Structure 1
Amino acid sequence: MTTLAPPANPSGTQTSPPTAYPPRKRTAVMKDWLFEKVHGNKLVYNTCWEDPRCDRALLDLNAESDVVMITSAGDNALAYLLDGPKRINCIDVNPRQNALLELKIAALQTLDWPNFFQLFGEGRQPDFPGLYTRHLRPGLRPESQQYWDRQQHYFNPKGARAGLYFHGGSGLFAWCASRLLGIGGSLRKDIDRLLDAKDLTEQRERYFALEDRLLKRLLGGKWRQNVSLSLVGVPASQRELIDQEHEGCAGYVRAAFRQVFTELPIADNYFYRLYLHGKYTTSCCPDYLMQENFQQLGAASDRIDLHTTTITRFLQEQPGAYSQFILLDHQDWLAANAPAALQEEWELIMANSRPGTRILLRSAASRPETVPDFVRQRCRFRNDLTAPQAKLDRVGTYAGVFLLEVTK
């Protein structure tokens, strides 16, 4: 969630029409084919790749909050519950993402913490079929039951791709990356030494000593980069923005890694540890997995409503004066592929906002090109809040993170 360049127009003044999204090229069509081929009807995200610690600082959630957000893997929705919002509406067009969050909610409500952590912390549960049948399945909607009836092997502790976090699109990428970085032995040992650094000085020295080898091994050529980005849910439109603004994927990743590995302590960075090791630990894991939060989240989990639909359709069917919108980065795809749908979505967001509503969105672009003029006229960009949080973000994979506050 780091901003690698300052957002344009922080005051929300009008700009000319967006220019970051050129007409679709044949190569982009092929990349979208690859994206669809990789994901198809699959779970894409088995974990959230946005830092909820920064989100909670930006969103100002409270007991009156009525939230609209994209589900993703559901981790951050559960983290937001710790701030006591009235309601969280989780929306995703992929029913498998909602099925994953629904499974987590069922586990919070029916399991004890050791079993809950083994399930979603380690991602491996030898008795998953038994736990699923006795405790989890009865609390799921029919469509989620049908999905998990078929995918119980995700939690199998045995096999080459053992555990939840080596399954799904992003899980396959994590498995490939962990195998790739393990080849030869010395690079993997140096990465583990980096993760064990005692302070930032030691951390910086260890990172810069391995940076060139890490990027060469991880990124490879253009074809491997396209496959890797497809696996982690980055469509062609965002890859084009990366090429335009950051001299390609290598420059983009280098900037992100330097922010994460040389500017912030690595001890609590559960994001990258997960992708290297395929599991969390009790001392390095998301907030929703911490034992001290278990009872609170179990009691509050009925405040989450799941909707398998689009943001637009949800707002058409359930209008209201919502207080926070968390849009992730899906508007990059809309801007490049369905500009009319992007316009309609923004019109409905504005119609269902109130003064003070906060809208959090991310982008592969460093400028908020997806925000139209009529939205800027009613909102101000809170760069005073996003700029300091960008320096604290533990992920660093977004070029732009923008927070809008509705003023009228």
Structure 2
Amino acid sequence: MQKRINKLKDKIFSKVHSNNLIYNTCWEDSRIDRQLLNLNDTSEVVMITSAGCNALNYSLDNPKTINCIDVNPRQNSLLELKKASIKNGDFNLHFKMFGRGRYKNVDEYYQSKLKPLLPDYAIKFWDKKINKFNGRGTKKSFYFFGTSGNFAWLFKKYFDSKPGTHQLINRLLNCESLEEQKEAYFKLESKFMNKIILWLMNRHLTMMLLGVPRAQKDLILEKYPDAMVGYIKTNLRHVFTGIPIRDNYFWRLYLTGRYTKNCSPEYLKENNFEVLQNNIDGLKTHTTTISDFLKKNPGKYSHYVLLDHQDWLAYHLPEALYEEWELILNNSLPGTKILMRSAALKIDFFPEFIQERIEWKTEMTEKAHSFDRVGTYASTYLGIVK
């Protein structure tokens, strides 16, 4: 019976992820990534698209090419819209759309300036969805759309309904010291972790909408006896009491629905805009899997960024995991870097042929991971091909 239930959960997860925009922003800290990857003008990158923020941040390091791969065309459509906004060359409008998450004249702007720069599949998507940026209705921000965005909006509405919570959140986001942060966060923690939210966070549907598959949830449950709540509570305490919040644009966005010019991803900084324009043509999107991309585009790539999808492959499609790694290793040189994250504190599901070919930089990644501003993953891995 449980096997049938799990199979149904996985089917629903796949259905949701194949028919919706899941991620409206990236939830991996690219500041850490760029330190670990050390990209340069000879770098040829293969990575998962997600919302495209990190690919754009990587492009500031002048890599030769960045191949962004996602099985969900909606994720690639979002990156293509960001690329079009950069190519158009108006930083103020670029920031209104992707910094503030709204621009009241977006329909006209899209039709006249952005649409001509988009591939056909992205046009098909944005012809129907560009109104998500117009700031009208109850949500006001593009960042409250998509499955993870819908969840963020519900949380914001809930917190705003609680007396004093809105002011506490603003106070937390504007703290100048760790001592101030600790004081502000511990006043908020009971509101973040009340009975209603605790119940929601342990529901499979909630995790599915946030992009967490059952395999990752199971990895967390193995290590945390109080389930998802314990995992989240531990990570939030680290993020909000151990790392300065002044430039934590991840949580500012999630809690407010917008960035500020002083607290935003690097691709939304005005002094980086010209570099982005110069490098944007080196960033390509591909709607497929990593394995299929490598079959059709063999080469000796210098960097792979696999996010956390190894967790899912290991539990659901181990044969696909083996195939992907065989293709990665066959399309790498000695010294190629492979970056990934996991819900597990320690990955123990790689077969021997991978371990024989990869040197894991454990000490380096553990140190880097301790400065991660997001707090959604238990571990970070950097492997070097021997």
User: TM-score of the superposition, structure 2-length normalised?
Assistant: 0.96
User: Contact 2:300/2:331 (CA < 8 Å) preserved in 1?
Assistant: yes
Q: How does 1:205-220 map to 2 (within 5 A)?
A: 205-216=183-194, 219-220=197-198
Inter-CA distance 129–111: structure 2 relative to 1 (3 Å threshold): farther
Inter-CA distance 179–225: structure 2 relative to 1 (3 Å threshold): farther
Q: Does 1:97 align with 2:65?
A: no
User: Contact 2:89/2:277 (CA < 8 Å) preserved in 1?
Assistant: no
Inter-CA distance 137–24: structure 2 relative to 1 (3 Å threshold): farther
Give the structure 2 partner of residue 254 of structure 1: 233
Give the structure 1 partner of residue 35 of structure 2: 57
Shift of 1:224: 6.2
Query: Distance between the aligned counterparts of 2:169 and 2:188, measured in 1?
Result: 8
Give the structure 1 partner of residue 157 of structure 2: 179
Kindly provide the CA deviation profile for residues 85-107 of structure 1, in whole angstroms up to 9, marking residues without a partner as x. Answer: 00000000000111100110111
Inter-CA distance 186–373: structure 2 relative to 1 (3 Å threshold): same
Q: In the alignment, which of 131, 138, 149 is matched to residue 160 of structure 1? A: 138
Give the structure 1 partner of residue 100 of structure 2: 122
Where 2:138 maps in the other structure, the secondary structure is: coil
Query: Distance between the aligned counterparts of 2:2 and 2:291, measured in 1?
Result: 24
What letter corresponds to residue 345 of structure 2 in structure 1?
A: S
Where 2:339 maps in the other structure, the secondary structure is: strand
Inter-CA distance 135–24: structure 2 relative to 1 (3 Å threshold): farther
Give the structure 2 partner of residue 203 of structure 1: 181
Q: In the alignment, which of 221, 243, 259 is matched to residue 264 of structure 1? A: 243
Q: Does 1:403 align with 2:365?
A: no
Query: Distance between the aligned counterparts of 2:327 and 2:131, measured in 1?
Result: 40
Q: How does 1:299-318 map to 2 (within 5 A)?
A: 299-318=278-297
Shift of 1:371: 2.5
User: Contact 2:51/2:79 (CA < 8 Å) preserved in 1?
Assistant: yes
Q: Which runs of 5+ in 2 are unaligned?
A: none
Q: Does 1:274 align with 2:231?
A: no
If asked which structure has higher relative contact order (CA below 8 Å, sep 6+), I would say: 1
Shift of 1:384: 2.7
User: Contact 2:181/2:240 (CA < 8 Å) preserved in 1?
Assistant: yes
- Superposed CA RMSD in Å reads 1.7
Shift of 1:366: 1.1
Please say which of residues 65-74 and 28-37 is displaced more in the overlay: 28-37
Query: Distance between the aligned counterparts of 2:184 and 2:117, measured in 1?
Result: 47
Please say which of residues 48-57 and 242-251 is displaced more in the overlay: 242-251
Shift of 1:246: 1.8
Shift of 1:217: 5.9
User: Contact 1:34/1:227 (CA < 8 Å) preserved in 2?
Assistant: no
Q: Does 1:327 align with 2:306?
A: yes
User: Contact 2:216/2:343 (CA < 8 Å) preserved in 1?
Assistant: yes
Give the structure 2 partner of residue 3 of structure 1: none
Q: Which runs of 5+ in 1 are unaligned?
A: 1-22
Query: Distance between the aligned counterparts of 1:28 and 1:268, measured in 2?
Result: 39
Q: In the alignment, which of 296, 321, 336 is matched to residue 357 of structure 1? A: 336
Where 2:19 maps in the other structure, the secondary structure is: coil
Identity percentage of aligned residues: 47
User: Contact 1:177/1:218 (CA < 8 Å) preserved in 2?
Assistant: no
User: TM-score of the superposition, structure 1-length normalised?
Assistant: 0.91
Query: Distance between the aligned counterparts of 1:397 and 1:26, measured in 2?
Result: 28
Inter-CA distance 163–213: structure 2 relative to 1 (3 Å threshold): closer
Q: Does 1:131 align with 2:112?
A: no
Kindly provide the CA deviation profile for residues 187-231 of structure 1, in whole angstroms up to 9, marking residues without a partner as x. Answer: 332222221222001111221233233122673315764232111
